[in-house]
Amino acid sequence: MTNFKALVVDKNEGGETSASVREIGLDDLPEGDVTVAVEYSTLNYKDGLCLGPGGGLVRNYPHVPGVDFAGTVESSSDARYKPGDKVVLTGWRVGEVRWGGYAQKARVKADWLVQLPEGLGTRAAMAVGTAGFTAMLAVMALEDHGLVPGKGPVLVTGAAGGVGSVATALLAALGYEVAAVTGRPEQEDYLRGLGASRIVPRVDLAETVKRPLESETWAGCVDAVGGAMLARVLGQMMYGGSVSAVGLAGGAQLPASVVPFLLRGVNLLGIDSVMQPFENRQRAWMRIASDLPMEKLEAMVQPAGLEDLPQLGAQILKGQIKGRVVVDVNA
């Protein structure tokens, strides 16, 4: 087809943004080595910002958001990819400063793509998306720093969100005892269905305490909240335990003490998915294909089309989205 559908965001002279589905052509796409026939995309917090106020992420309008996509290579000037290859893209500021996956076609640099592992389809890849990819990176970092099943419970904060949901399912499938933190009691059944063996009310960790150390409780942690909760969790880590920091839903400030690092050898591991080197990306997607229980993944999926995204984008900014949104761009 010559023209194809895309969700395009415009900004008027007053600074207000609006998003609508319209037809664009191949000539409208940015330059790149590989043209991909997009099959699925997904919805992340960044996408909500790019669909609405911009959040300082979008530099030029009109803009096509979508920080993730998966599909089939249509044409390539790079020898690493050929027509018919199934590929996935996450990060690299695609969907932010560059046009992204909320369209039936995308054109990107070959360096940004990863071939999908055998057995992992494009829809499943977007059920994983940046959120699940980040969760896998977080678990790999914990394991690289000595975490193994049987050492003790692993805490997941913001467990009902995208990263937290996948981290919970992944850790449980790998044999870890998972304690899931949530401020939404109605999500308890959902989290237990993903494999959480214990539910921790958010209020139990929300209050900052003066003591730099508390009882050694957690062998590891995937933290999507940051702020005061992360500071509190650091003081509850077991000796030599590690925290993978993946988000800042609770704030960017860290009112913490250095005491847990000095007296318990606690590790605070920063997890970045945007500029992650190719080798570790490939390693993470291979682990996702082999270790993530796809039936659990399906339980957290909410299907959507391009037309649904403006409303869903507003909802994710308000913390009203559970699990993962998978966008069929051809629906």
313, part of any domain? yes
Based on the fold, state whether residues 143 and 78 are members of the same structural domain.
no
Q: What is the mean pLDDT of residues 314-321?
A: 89
Q: How confident is the model at residue 275 (pLDDT cuts 50, 70, 90)?
A: very high
Pair 205, 232: CB distance under 8 Å = yes
21, part of any domain? yes
41, part of any domain? yes
The pLDDT assigned to 240 comes to 98
Q: What is the mean pLDDT of residues 192-214?
A: 92
Based on the fold, state whether residues 104 and 138 are members of the same structural domain.
no
Residue 210 CB contacts under 8 Å (≥ 6 apart), including other chains? none
Tell me, what CATH number does 48's domain have?
3.90.180.10
Rounded Cα distance between 238 and 219, Å, is: 5
Q: Which amino acid is at 211?
A: R
The pLDDT assigned to 281 comes to 96
Tell me, what CATH number does 190's domain have?
3.40.50.720
Residue 45 has a CB neighbour count (10 Å cut-off) of 21
Based on the fold, state whether residues 307 and 254 are members of the same structural domain.
no
Residue 328 has pLDDT above 80, yes or no: yes
* Domain range enclosing 209: 130-270
Please give the C-alpha separations between residue 14 and each of 50, 109, 197, 203, in angstroms, as whole numbers.
17, 34, 50, 41
Q: What is the mean pLDDT of residues 116-141?
A: 96
Rounded Cα distance between 61 and 66, Å, is: 14
The sheet carrying 154-156 orders its strands as 198-201, 178-182, 154-156, 218-223, 237-245, 267-270
Based on the fold, state whether residues 135 and 39 are members of the same structural domain.
no
Based on the fold, state whether residues 147 and 260 are members of the same structural domain.
yes
122, part of any domain? no
Is pTM beyond 0.75? Reply is yes
Rounded Cα distance between 195 and 218, Å, is: 17
232, part of any domain? yes
Residue 199 has pLDDT above 80, yes or no: yes
The residue count for the chain: 331
Considering its fold, how many domains does the chain have in total? 2
Based on the fold, state whether residues 92 and 223 are members of the same structural domain.
no
Based on the fold, state whether residues 156 and 101 are members of the same structural domain.
no
Based on the fold, state whether residues 140 and 194 are members of the same structural domain.
yes
Based on the fold, state whether residues 66 and 143 are members of the same structural domain.
no
Residue 293 has pLDDT above 80, yes or no: yes
Q: How confident is the model at residue 322 (pLDDT cuts 50, 70, 90)?
A: confident
The pLDDT assigned to 299 comes to 83
Please give the C-alpha separations between residue 71 and each of 74, 103, 112, in angstroms, as whole numbers.
9, 11, 14
Q: Which of 270, 289, 313 is the last residue of a domain?
A: 270
| Lowest-confidence pick of 48-57, 111-120, 161-170, 171-180 | 48-57
What's the 3-state SS for the chain?
CCEEEEEEEEECCCCCEEEEEEEEEHHHCCCCCEEEEEEEEECCHHHHHHHCCCCCCCCCCCECCCCEEEEEEEEECCCCCCCCCEEEEECCCECCCECCCCECEEEECHHHEEECCCCCCHHHHHHHHHHHHHHHHHHHHHHHCCCCCCCCCEEECCCCCHHHHHHHHHHHHCCCCEEEEECCHHHHHHHHHHCCCEEEECHHHHCCCCCCCCCCCEEEEEECCCHHHHHHHHCCEEEEEEEEECCCCCCCCCCCCCHHHHHCCCEEEECCCCCCCHHHHHHHHHHHHHHCCHHHHHHCEEEECHHHHHHHHHHHHCCCCCCEEEEECCC
67, part of any domain? yes
Q: What is the mean pLDDT of residues 154-166?
A: 93
Residue 54 has pLDDT above 80, yes or no: no
The pLDDT assigned to 312 comes to 96
124, part of any domain? no
209, part of any domain? yes
Residue 1 has pLDDT above 70, yes or no: no
Based on the fold, state whether residues 80 and 202 are members of the same structural domain.
no
Structure tokens that stand for 81 in this block: 């990819």
